[in-house]
Amino acid sequence: MNDRKAIAKTIIHAAIIMAILSCLFCGCNNKDNSDKKHSDTSSQTEYVGQDKEAVGYYKRIAIAKNGETFEEMKESLDIMKKGYLVLKDDGTAFFDLDGEITEYTFDKQNFYLINDSEKTNGSPYTYIGGRLVVNDGTTVTQYLRLTDEELESYLALKKE
């Protein structure tokens, strides 16, 4: 019975990773859309290109690391859904994980650590209908825009 549970967990975790990666790959668009006002749309969803503003508040919902073993993935499950990413109008951003802040700057294509003033080591991102997918080359992280209720709770928590 334990073998079946272990196999089922392995399959579920593999399916989650595949779903995350498929979101990333399906969201990638190699075309230069900088001169378009709106990006391509489908009958089910609007794919928002980098010409749209991704400014806002997000919660981290998933992490997938290249080469991560199943055991390492299981260990990271408890932290993978923690943390908030805040993107401001002025091109600055920060990630808040239990009060520990990591600061960034961003443009229409990449995130940069705040001390990368030359903007040489960017992490590309894709914004798709309220979901932000960041790929730093070794880790793919997904964020989901906060609902109004979640935003209210987050802001109230920050005031304390």
Q: What is the mean pLDDT of each run of 10 residues along the chain (160 residues)?
A: 70 70 54 41 44 82 82 74 90 90 90 88 88 90 93 85
Task: Give pLDDT, residue 146.
Answer: 94
Determine the straight-line distance between the first and last CA of the chain, rounded to whole angstroms: 47
Task: Give pLDDT, residue 74.
Answer: 75
- The number of beta carbons lying within 10 Å of the beta carbon of residue 49 is 21
- pTM for the model stands at 0.64
Task: Give pLDDT, residue 129.
Answer: 81
Closest CA to 102 of 88, 89, 112, 91: 112
State how far the Cα of 142 lies from the Cα of 160, in Å rounded to an integer: 27
Closest CA to 49 of 34, 60, 62, 63: 34
Enumerate domains of the chain plus CATH numbers: 2-29+52-159 (2.40.128)
CB-side neighbour CA atoms (13 Å) of 110: 12
Task: Give pLDDT, residue 120.
Answer: 86
